[in-house]
Each structure stands twice: as C-alpha cells, then as structure tokens.
Amino acid sequence: MKKYFVTGLLIWIPLAITFMVIAWIVSTLDRILLWIPEHWQPKVLLGLDIPGIGVALTLLIILLTGLIGANVLGQRLVLVWEALLARIPVVKSIYSSVKQVSDTLFSSSSHAFRKALLVQYPRQGAWTIAFLTGKPGGDAARHLTGDYISIYVPTTPNPTSGFFLMVPRADVIELEMSVDEALKYVISMGVVTSGKKADIAELAPVKP
C-alpha cells in the first residue's frame, strides 16, 4: 500500500505544482486588465470572465512595443522617455541599473549567463554550479591583481537568489553543459542531469 501511495504522489505532485505555477502566472498577468477602464473590460463587453485574456494582452503589448521601438521614430521616443526618467533622482538610479542588467542579459552579443561553471564554494573542496556574468569593472577591478571573472552562484531550489563573486579565472572550471541543463541541475538539487558524466579532472578550465 505504501508503495502505491508513493507512486501516486510522484505522479501528482509535479502535475499539481505545474498547474499551480501556471495558474499563478495567468492570474497575475490578468491583473493588467485593471488598468483598462471598466466599461472597456472584456468582462463587461462579453458578459463573462475569460481567464488568460490578461496574458494575451500582455504579450500583445510587448510585441507592439517591440515593433514600435525597432524603427527610427520609436527609438527616438525611447531616448526621449529615458531622458525624462533621467531627470527624476530616485527613478534614475533604479531604471538605469535595471536597464543595464536587462541589456546585458538579453543582448545577443552578450556573454552573460552563456557559460555554466564549476566553482569551489562556500569552502575549498566543496563544488557547486555557477554562471559566468563577465569581468569585474569599475574601482573593484583596480584592486584585483591578475585575471579575474565575475560569476553568479545560484541557490537551490530557487536560482533567482544567489551570490555574486569575483574569483580568479584559474579557480573555476567550464562545464560542457548548457545553461538550461545547469539550471535544471541546480533546481533539482542535483537529481536531474544531462545524462552526460564528466570527471572534474578531465574538464577544461575557462578559456579567456
């Protein structure tokens, strides 16, 4: 009986969590409908509440914004908007920081989060997964002697929180797995792997 119960849990728990996450995303995005005047809301026009309209509307807004921002006129509007935000003291700091991070992560020419690494953390002899984010810059780089890289060490099972470290390039090992595979490995606490076994001693160091 216990065996069958555990088997049932292993089937239903992933499905339940998946549906819960999807339902949370849909309900969160559906709140964008609150920005629309009440007499224009789909519930009033159609006479019924259809889940997921907020998701479609969000995707449509993102697509239209991309289409507008891709042409010359749209780029000028973006520059005017950014110049306006730059005049607001607190907003300027937050917006500029977030924009730099997003530009780095989503730029096709960026190498941020393009490599999965193996690094000794939090102590010598204990290994964990990390991601290459770039090289140290600013005043921090001036105080570092030698070839250093910037890495992000995610936590398990929530990879959105973690630790930012600047370590010598020679102290990390580049893994032969994609970032997606490495994230699955971190989130699953080492249970889900790419199926490819590799010896630490055989892995090549990070290339300059």
In a domain, 208, yes or no: no
Amino acid 60: pLDDT: 85
Q: Could you tell me if 106 and 122 lie in one domain?
A: no
Q: Is the pLDDT of residue 198 over 60?
A: no
Contacts of 172 (CB under 8 A, 6+ apart): 117, 118, 119, 130, 149, 151, 205, 206
Amino acid 203: pLDDT: 46
C-alpha distance across the termini of the chain, in Å:
57
Q: Could you tell me if 121 and 190 lie in one domain?
A: yes
123-181 tens-digit pLDDT? 989 999 999 988 888 888 889 989 999 999 998 877 778 899 999 999 999 998 888 88
Q: Which domain holds residue 35?
A: 1-70
In a domain, 159, yes or no: yes
Q: Is the pLDDT of residue 110 over 60?
A: no
Amino acid 201: pLDDT: 44
Task: Read off the pTM.
Answer: 0.54
Paired tokens of 33: 């409908």
Q: Could you tell me if 61 and 83 lie in one domain?
A: no
Q: How many domains does the chain have?
A: 3
Average pLDDT over residues 82-98: 81
Average pLDDT over residues 112-123: 86
